Amino acid sequence: MTFHGTTDLHLENILKLGLVPPTISNTKTENRKRNLDKVFITNNETHALAYAVRASNKFGGKPVIIKLSIQADKYQTTTNTISPDKIIEVIKIEEWNTQWAWSLFQN
More confident residue, 25 or 89: 89
User: Is the Cα torsion angle 87, 55, 74, 104 positive or negative in sign?
Assistant: negative
- Is residue 102 within 8 Å of residue 52, measured between CB atoms? no
Give residue 15's pLDDT.
93
pLDDT in tens, 78-96: 767 888 999 898 988 766 5
Strand partners, 76: 41
Whole-model pTM: value is: 0.75
